[in-house]
């Protein structure tokens, strides 16, 4: 038999763990990103590939851009603007040389994905995000929404500099 | 009314086009890759992402590695060896600076996927490919199997140099 004290302790540990899991899964306690309230979409890691890229300089990452079904249909058809419901996910990892691969190839040529840096999510909702061209933004580290509003203003600031024909999206579909 | 000559011409053009499409879809007229007979799997462009990489040097590409459901389960669980039925696809594109992105960022930092170079497919079948560690290889350009047996021998030659714990697969799952 478990003593009442141990039992109470086990129950409160379980409640604490449950709370932690819910917090991590919902990102920022369910509120999502600042300004936009964008959430980390469930299942985004299994979405289809739009394209890949490497950002050098201070970012120094290697990244893949994924889309939900609505976004992929639009990328493949080449039509713009993206319809409401399109969601794009950009996953980035530290850009690192691969000692394993370079040893096999006999020369330093291979760069791979290291630890994850962050995930950025863009959601098209032409009414809700009318002030930012129809797109809402969020950045997530370890599943938690980054709380910086200044950061998200730099997102939409850069995206708004693209030619209007791109509908504020940098990436083109890689055929 | 179409003249008999025009009609015959139209029919033979249609047959020619149909032949071209079937050839392109099946890759190397249905025979698949040399040595291994590996085919380009239908729907591979919609598979899930294992990881991304950049190969510098003479390859000078940026690439994504995708897996079918069997392969993805194994990558996510971390178990080895891969079971029969696992198929891995490596899609590569020319590694190119993005003038569009660099103009927005105000500095040269962005490298993106240019034209496709080739798609490589690895199929696990421990009986059929017992002589090469259970893996069969194919390389495809524009959907057509590359006919060079020498090329495929270099594939399996490099993969066989990896530590046996990797089951001849270079890529690790990017979390």
Write down the ipTM of this complex.
0.84
pLDDT tens digits for B116-147? Answer: 999 999 999 999 999 999 999 999 999 999 99
What is the percent of chain B with per-residue pLDDT over 90, rounded to a whole number?
Answer: 82
Q: Is A48 on the interface with B (CB under 8 A)?
A: yes
The CATH code of the domain at B31-166 is: 3.50.70.20
- Which among B53, B91, B113 is the nearest to A111, CB-wise? B53
Preceding peptide of A12 cis, ω within 30° = no
Q: Is A46 on the interface with B (CB under 8 A)?
A: yes
The whole-angstrom separation of Cα A11 and Cα A21 is 15
Distances (CA, A) of B88 to A45, A56, A85, B170: 17, 28, 31, 11
Which neighbouring-strand residues pair with A119?
A: A91, A140
Contacts of B171 in chain A (CB under 8 A): 112
* Closest B-chain CA to A155: B105
pLDDT tens digits for A28-80? Answer: 557 899 999 999 999 999 999 999 999 999 999 999 999 999 999 999 999 99
Which neighbouring-strand residues pair with B122?
A: B88, B137
The whole-angstrom separation of Cα A171 and Cα A78 is 12
Say whether A91 and B174 touch across the interface (CB within 8 A).
yes
Q: Which helix (H) or strand (E) holds A75?
A: helix A69-77
Shortest Cα–Cα distance, A162 to chain B (Å): 7
SS3 (DSSP) at A71: helix
Q: Is the pLDDT of residue B12 over 70?
A: no
Contacts of A175 in chain B (CB under 8 A): 116
Q: Which residues of B143-157 are buried (b: 16+ CB within 10 A; e: fewer)?
A: ebbbeeeebbeebbe
Yes or no: say if A152 and A36 are a contact pair by the CB < 8 Å rule: yes
The whole-angstrom separation of Cα B117 and Cα A131 is 40
- Give the start-end residues of each E strand in A15-69: 48-55, 61-67
Enter the tokens of residue B174.
Answer: 């990017």
Phi and psi dihedrals of A128, rounded to 5? -60, -40
pLDDT tens digits for B52-62? Answer: 999 999 999 99
Q: Which residues of B107-128 are buried (b: 16+ CB within 10 A; e: fewer)?
A: eebbbbbbebbbbbbbbbbeee
Q: Which helix (H) or strand (E) holds B115?
A: strand B110-124
The whole-angstrom separation of Cα B34 and Cα B146 is 8
Map out the domains of chain A as residue ranges.
1-30, 31-166
Shortest Cα–Cα distance, A3 to chain B (Å): 38
| Among B43, B50, B53, B95, the residue to mutate for chain A (most A Cβ within 10 A) | B53
Q: Is B98 on the interface with A (CB under 8 A)?
A: yes
Q: Is B173 on the interface with A (CB under 8 A)?
A: no
Tokens 């897996």, located at residue: B67
Q: Is the pLDDT of residue B1 over 50?
A: no
Q: Is A44 on the interface with B (CB under 8 A)?
A: no
């Amino acid at each position: 038999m478990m003593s009442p004290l141990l039992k109470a302790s086990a129950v409160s540990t379980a409640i604490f763990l449950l709370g932690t899991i819910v917090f991590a899964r919902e990102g920022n306690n369910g509120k999502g990103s600042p300004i936009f309230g964008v959430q980390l979409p469930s299942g985004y890691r299994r979405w289809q590939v739009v394209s890949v890229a490497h950002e050098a300089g201070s970012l120094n990452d290697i990244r893949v851009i994924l889309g939900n079904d609505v976004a992929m249909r639009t990328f493949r058809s080449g039509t713009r603007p993206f319809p409401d419901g399109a969601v794009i996910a950009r996953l980035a990892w530290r850009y690192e040389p691969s000692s394993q691969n370079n040893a096999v190839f006999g020369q330093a040529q291979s760069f791979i994905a290291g630890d994850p840096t962050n995930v950025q999510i863009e959601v098209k909702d032409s009414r809700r995000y009318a002030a930012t061209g129809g797109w809402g933004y969020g950045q997530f580290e370890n599943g938690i929404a980054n709380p910086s509003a200044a950061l998200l203003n730099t997102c939409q600031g850069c995206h708004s500099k693209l030619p209007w024909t791109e509908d504020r999206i940098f990436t083109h579909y890689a055929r």
